[in-house]
Structure 1
Amino acid sequence: MPPKDTPLQDYCDQEPLLTSQLDASKFRRRNSVLKCVVVVLFLSCLALSIYVAVLRTGYKDQGNGKPGSGSKDVCMSSACVSLAGHMVSALNKSVDPCDDFYEYACGGWRASHIATQSTLKVSPLTVMTARNNERLQSLLTSPGSAEENSTAIAKLKLLYASCMDTQSMDQVGPMAVRDLIQLVNQSDFNVTRAYLTLAQTTIDHLPFFTMTPMPDEKNTSRRLVHFKQADLGLDVSLYNRNDSDSRVSKYKTYMRSTLSLLDDRSMPAEYYGNLTEAVYGFEKQIAAFMLSREEQLNPNTTYNLMSIDSLAGFSPAFDFVELLSSMVESNRSAIINGSTEVIVESPEYMANISQLILAARGEDNGTAILNYMVWAFVRDLLPYMGVSFRAVAEAYRSSSLLSERCVVLANKLMDDAVGRLFVDHYLADGIKQEGIEMVEYMKINFKVSVETLAWMDDATKKLTKEKADYLIPLIGYSKDIVNNTWLDMTYQDYNITDCFLCNYLSIGANQRTLVMDRLHKPVRRDTWFLSTDTANAAYLPALNIMQVPAGILQSPVYLKDSPLAVKYGSLGSVLGRELMHGFDNTGSQFDKDGNLRSWWPQNVRKAFNNRTRCIARQYSDYTADGQRVDGNLTLGENIADHGGMRVAFHTYRAQSQVQQDTTAPLPGLQHMTNDQLFFLSYAQFYCSNSLKQYEQALLLNDEHAPDRIRVLGTLSTSQPFVDAWKCGSGSRMNRANKCPLW
């Protein structure tokens, strides 16, 4: 990692980092110095312009809490100026913050960040993701530095180079995939053998269902294979539309063009039109059987423990013993038999799929089934199957740059190696420990708030606090990836060639073996399931862990020297939200060990549910683009938003006293109170723009409310927010019914 001195020194050291790795000549060093001089001049001008603007316009102190200025000098370091510039430019000061705080906090940002057909949505997280990918593109094409003396990193760079080599792709074409398709078609319409042919080369792109060893939610000391419904090519809701919907007609064109290119014969256009209708019709029937997103989020709905014999009893189209025993290492296959236990997300779905397959096999000897399986496998691989297939893929959707796609794929296939590169170059010193400490402070404040709950008895309070204590925060990265020996052993069986599609399939086979082998290994609570460079965070209830990767520990979510109020408003709220997912409508059903059981008494659960219904009703009253928000679908995220913001605020307040925060105020914001800065930082994390069609699809299937609603819904029910911004009774940002929960 680069050394950390002063903020300005950091900027100058990091910006030309890749250039100095590529060439250490005097010219390059001189060029880096000139870059730093330009940066210094730019930041100085920016700081001056912000300061002058403040002198001209000023800010009124609109809230309680310690003022951000007073006798302190304004912070004029490059980090402070950059952060202040970001926050001030995002504002729309013509809006009353007590009328619409989202527009006040984000109006300027939204005016300068427009969603496109290729991006669909733009937000701080998508901006961070794009920046992370750009950084990785540079790292993947540069010679390795001394600390990267690793065969895994060398293989990673070869893999990325093969993905960028379109000339070789065009020469090889779909050959590697054609061999697989031939095997599928030679399976004598045995759907189990056809599925195995595909499943043994990939962990995704599978038809019908996925099967993955995961912790048993009611006994997390062991793993069981989970059967879950597979993804489809379209959003489930679109299969009820006809061809008049452009998304459906475009998808069918995509399917028809692909199926015709895969066929060596030269058949009439009518043939491929009929073939497309048959495959699409088959896929549409599958969509009708699928669980809704709300049903998928209910752990009691999706936990169905049974033997393989029981599964086969209502889903006879597949030989599940053969499927699993073929996927597990040969020396373990004897363990798989009819009495082996598995967890089925939806028995009804598996039964319906089986009936559909058996009926289709009788109608056309299984042709539609096999064509659908091939389509499900190849539909996302087209850009890497040669020039003709790439043209079809680009006609279907606005493709990102090849370099961007190749970073994503390199991450998918060798995520630990990518994570190592990212951490070495772009993770601030000390953030891992700082993040862990912030979570521990929040646990303390959460436990204090639990003691005040009138709806929870003392015994349940004790259990709830124990669960908070037992939560493990995994911050930044796994300790394994910075160990060259471990990293090289992880990828020792990877043989990278010039053929990217060959690499993709061979690595997929290796990953499938490793994933299935976990079935017999102990469950580790420190196992990472997010890629290190991911600009997001997550909570896993079955292990009671949160993961906050290095990818989100970047500006503007995290700046090492930012004021405490800003740090807790942004990063603190992210950490708080993941903590509180352990106590939302789903997470609260899992005990401290991650076991799904009734660990709260019935009367406490009833009191909790009564309060969550208030939150569900609140969000169901909101509309976006003329559609109502589904307060039940988004309930878990809304509970976590409310609780996470609250615990972050009270922790920031407590730490301000403990640490005697003396951080100088930010230029352009020095007349805001620290409490106001906290809420401003919180709201600006959610600044975003989306295409209308994309937003409407999310309203139907996404467990997150629209970003604007997340801010308005959370802050309008927060008394500290109301006090900070002095929002009077009756104002839109001061709801009468505040739905208190945590």
Structure 2
Amino acid sequence: METPYSMTAHYDEFQEVKYVSRCGTGGARGASLPPGFPLGAGRSATGARAGLPRWNRREVCLLSGLVFAAGLCAILAAMLALKYLGPGAAGGGGGACSEGCPERKAFARAARFLAANLDASIDPCQDFYSFACGGWLRRHAIPDDKLTYGTIAAIGEQNEERLRRLLARPGGGPGGAAQRKVRAFFRSCLDMREIERLGPRPMLEVIEDCGGWDLGGAAERPGAAALWDLNRLLYKAQGVYSAAALFSLTVSLDDRNSSRYVIRIDQDGLTLPERTLYLAQDEESEKILAAYRVFMERLLSLLGADAVEQKAQEILQLEQRLANITVSEYDDLRRDVSSMYNKVTLGQLQKITPHLQWKWLLDQIFQEDFSEDEEVVLLATDYMQQVSQLIRSTPRRILHNYLVWRVVVVLSEHLSPPFREALHELAREMEGSDKPQELARVCLGQANRHFGMALGALFVHEHFSAASKAKVQQLVEDIKYILGRRLEELDWMDAETKAAARAKLQYMMVMVGYPDFLLKPEAVDKEYEFEVHEKTYFKNILNSIRFSIQLSVRKIRQEVDKSTWLLPPQALNAYYLPNKNQMVFPAGILQPTLYDPDFPQSLNYGGIGTIIGHELTHGYDDWGGQYDRSGNLLHWWTEASYSRFLRKAECIVHLYDNFTVYNQRVNGKHTLGENIADMGGLKLAYYLHTVTPRPIRSGCGSTARSTRCTGSSTRTTSSSSLPLPRTGASSGGHSPSTCRC
């Protein structure tokens, strides 16, 4: 499903988000913090997914044997390639190439890549991950500003360096106002002297706009009720500063009618990334909660608030009450879209939550005159009923300070170094990070957030060709063909369900590289029609947020264009959107070593091919499988087929529950969908090889099969400076790298 146009999360960076399957981003520090939280890209709101569970125990064993043999073949291929295709192998030092030389050179480069990654001293039967990735891990230390580092992170570093060079240029690229604005924005972010000079002043102006702390001391005076309106402050927080408080407001495709947009209301408003952290049920959570309390007091002091300890305690207690009524995103209830979906009129919503003036609030945000019959989708009915009770029982002063705090949290990363240091101290306690990111990298991240498509236009102009786009499009079609064949072979799916599954595959949209409008500067300019100045970084942020909100609210009366992109083309990601039935493979992930147009196609099968298969599999898992070929929430399975599907998925849960990493068990239920997608991607890429064998004219004695299988193993190569994330043996719905296919 499409991540909604949000008034409460200005931009979702490249992490796992609700409805979107992602391949990892390389573990930049702070990545697990929640949307709007300064260090992070967005809380993982994704429930685990199940895919087509086609693997039985025998198949797993057979594939393990195949991969073992493939690894040995790859070593031989690499050694032979280096011997016969190395410097001077073709008739001495640099003589003229014979016919077929480009293919020979490409394979030689691929063989060197594989050989360098392997560790032949490891028995692949005992530890295939170390066998396939040991060489790479030995050569690559974890950078100081990362907790994990792997092959995908290395691609990310390459992309970042390219983007930094593009931003540093005074001109170049396709041109247009948007390119000038993103460069000016980047320079304003780097101007730390001006940011330090301003100190807390920009935030103090925002706080004053929200009524100040404690309403300037007026909250408890006689008649104060007439001076304070919760709905007006909610409008400021949600509709002006894009801060989720008490709940979230988004504009999204209607799950039951994907041809229209709808306002969606859901649970939100916590600052820490997981509700359990507020409950302090273990020693680790207690430490994080204590660090959060220190962080709150530090920011409140920097902003000149009175009674800092009292304010921090009251706000924290309110967030703890919210945590107690919030349902975990890993709960079965949050995995079943049909059970969450509740379409109500504004009149009905007013009865559910009588302490909020919904018509007034939405009229202000959307600049509309909604009728009482306007329909909205309520995804957390019980939660909102309890929020209404919480509002009734909480003193106005505490509610007011909580709402102001949520705005402060969203914007504090853009202030002077003392604020950033406080954020880093909290991140260090939560994730073990020691060194903050360098300023240039922080500013590149902000440019990606606020000018993603403008920066993407620069990126694809120089780093992704139309020829590469065409090759990947063909590869996607090839793997779709293989999935169609595999669907026919499934013995647990009946004919009626197979017909619906084939229809979904036929209607699936595929977007590769970049949206075509990026080639037209005037079209890109329309995405960024707000002022940007080199000396006003904080104001640039506010201008961007407000314009983003304007674009979001306009969607409510617009026709749906299902060809729009969720992420910019430089994103190091791939994803599937169930409510569009759309797969997207941005140019940022279509880079060596995952994809190289000069590599043998078999190696691309093992790299980007497995990712393509991974995303295809998500279209039929326990989340994507709830949506039909048009992206509508509709149960298209027969009960018999769906029951068999669930039983097979449960086998995968048990399989991964038995994996242990650093004395912690992998949570097979939380990681179910990603595990099945990993398996499905690998298997689809392998079957593609079996039906389209291509001999490699290298004289190396290797086969396409060997390079494909070992190429797949490099996709999840990664090392970590911590045993496991603080949230357990899974990250963003994915199993640890050593457990992934």
TM-score, reference length from structure 1: 0.80
Q: 1:697 to 1:610 in 2, by over 3 A?
A: same
Determine the structure 2 residue equivalent to 1:580: 617
Q: How does 1:579-618 map to 2 (within 5 A)?
A: 579-618=616-655
Q: Distance in 2 between matches of 1:98 and 1:464?
A: 36
Q: 1:300 to 1:181 in 2, by over 3 A?
A: same
Match of 2:696 among 649, 662, 678: 662
Preserved contact between residue 227 and residue 345 of structure 1 (Cα < 8 Å):
yes
Q: How does 1:9-20 map to 2 (within 5 A)?
A: none
Does residue 201 (structure 1) correspond to residue 237 (structure 2)? The answer is: no
Give the unaligned 5+ runs of structure 1: 1-58, 712-742
Preserved contact between residue 152 and residue 491 of structure 1 (Cα < 8 Å):
yes
Q: Following TM superposition, by how much is the alpha carbon of 1:553 offset from its aligned partner in structure 2, in angstroms?
A: 0.8
Q: Following TM superposition, by how much is the alpha carbon of 1:544 offset from its aligned partner in structure 2, in angstroms?
A: 0.3
Q: Following TM superposition, by how much is the alpha carbon of 1:81 offset from its aligned partner in structure 2, in angstroms?
A: 5.5
Determine the structure 2 residue equivalent to 1:190: 229
Q: Distance in 1 between matches of 2:179 and 2:617?
A: 37
Q: 1:527 to 1:613 in 2, by over 3 A?
A: same
Match of 1:633 among 663, 670, 678: 670
Match of 2:739 among 709, 719, 723: 709
Q: Following TM superposition, by how much is the alpha carbon of 1:219 offset from its aligned partner in structure 2, in angstroms?
A: 1.0
The worse-fitting range, judged by mean Cα deviation, of 698-707 and 396-405 is 698-707
Match of 1:569 among 562, 584, 606: 606
Q: Following TM superposition, by how much is the alpha carbon of 1:410 offset from its aligned partner in structure 2, in angstroms?
A: 1.1
Q: Following TM superposition, by how much is the alpha carbon of 1:468 offset from its aligned partner in structure 2, in angstroms?
A: 0.6
Q: Distance in 2 between matches of 1:156 and 1:532?
A: 15
Q: Following TM superposition, by how much is the alpha carbon of 1:507 offset from its aligned partner in structure 2, in angstroms?
A: 1.2
Q: 1:184 to 1:82 in 2, by over 3 A?
A: farther
Determine the structure 2 residue equivalent to 1:246: 287
Preserved contact between residue 180 and residue 197 of structure 1 (Cα < 8 Å):
no
- 1:343 maps to a residue whose letter is V
Q: Following TM superposition, by how much is the alpha carbon of 1:626 offset from its aligned partner in structure 2, in angstroms?
A: 2.0
Determine the structure 2 residue equivalent to 1:322: 360
Q: Distance in 1 between matches of 2:145 and 2:408?
A: 21
Determine the structure 1 residue equivalent to 2:500: 463
Determine the structure 2 residue equivalent to 1:227: 265
Does residue 282 (structure 1) correspond to residue 318 (structure 2)? The answer is: yes
Q: 1:674 to 1:310 in 2, by over 3 A?
A: same
Q: Following TM superposition, by how much is the alpha carbon of 1:494 offset from its aligned partner in structure 2, in angstroms?
A: 3.5
Q: How does 1:425-574 map to 2 (within 5 A)?
A: 425-496=462-533, 498-574=535-611
Q: Following TM superposition, by how much is the alpha carbon of 1:217 offset from its aligned partner in structure 2, in angstroms?
A: 1.0
Does residue 256 (structure 1) correspond to residue 286 (structure 2)? The answer is: no
Determine the structure 2 residue equivalent to 1:356: 390
C-alpha RMSD of matched pairs (Å): 2.7
Determine the structure 1 residue equivalent to 2:709: 679
Q: Following TM superposition, by how much is the alpha carbon of 1:457 offset from its aligned partner in structure 2, in angstroms?
A: 2.1
Q: Following TM superposition, by how much is the alpha carbon of 1:318 offset from its aligned partner in structure 2, in angstroms?
A: 2.1
Does residue 128 (structure 1) correspond to residue 155 (structure 2)? The answer is: yes
Deviations 1:529-578 (A, max 9, x none): 01211111110000000111111111111111111221000100111111
Q: Following TM superposition, by how much is the alpha carbon of 1:311 offset from its aligned partner in structure 2, in angstroms?
A: 2.4
Match of 1:272 among 308, 314, 318: 308
Match of 2:680 among 630, 643, 650: 643
Preserved contact between residue 61 and residue 673 of structure 1 (Cα < 8 Å):
no
Give the unaligned 5+ runs of structure 2: 1-67, 88-101, 216-226, 428-434
Q: Distance in 1 between matches of 2:485 and 2:425?
A: 56
Q: Distance in 1 between matches of 2:303 and 2:603?
A: 54
- 1:290 maps to a residue whose letter is T
Q: Distance in 2 between matches of 1:393 and 1:300?
A: 38
Q: Following TM superposition, by how much is the alpha carbon of 1:107 offset from its aligned partner in structure 2, in angstroms?
A: 2.1
Preserved contact between residue 66 and residue 673 of structure 1 (Cα < 8 Å):
no
Give the count of matched residue pairs: 631
Q: Counterpart of 2:684 in 1: which secondary structure?
A: helix
- Of Structure 1 and Structure 2, which has the larger fraction of its residues in helix? 1
Q: 1:319 to 1:123 in 2, by over 3 A?
A: farther
Deviations 1:617-674 (A, max 9, x none): 1111112222222222212112212222111111133232xxx443537xxxx56543
Q: Distance in 2 between matches of 1:210 and 1:355?
A: 17
Deviations 1:23-61 (A, max 9, x none): xxxxxxxxxxxxxxxxxxxxxxxxxxxxxxxxxxxx997
Q: How does 1:69-148 map to 2 (within 5 A)?
A: 74=85, 83-115=110-142, 118-145=145-172, 147-148=173-174
Does residue 312 (structure 1) correspond to residue 350 (structure 2)? The answer is: yes
Deviations 1:58-101 (A, max 9, x none): x9977799995999964877765554444323222222112221
Deviations 1:462-496 (A, max 9, x none): 22111111111111111111111211232233443
Q: Distance in 2 between matches of 1:192 and 1:386?
A: 31
Determine the structure 1 residue equivalent to 2:201: 175
The worse-fitting range, judged by mean Cα deviation, of 95-104 and 393-402 is 393-402
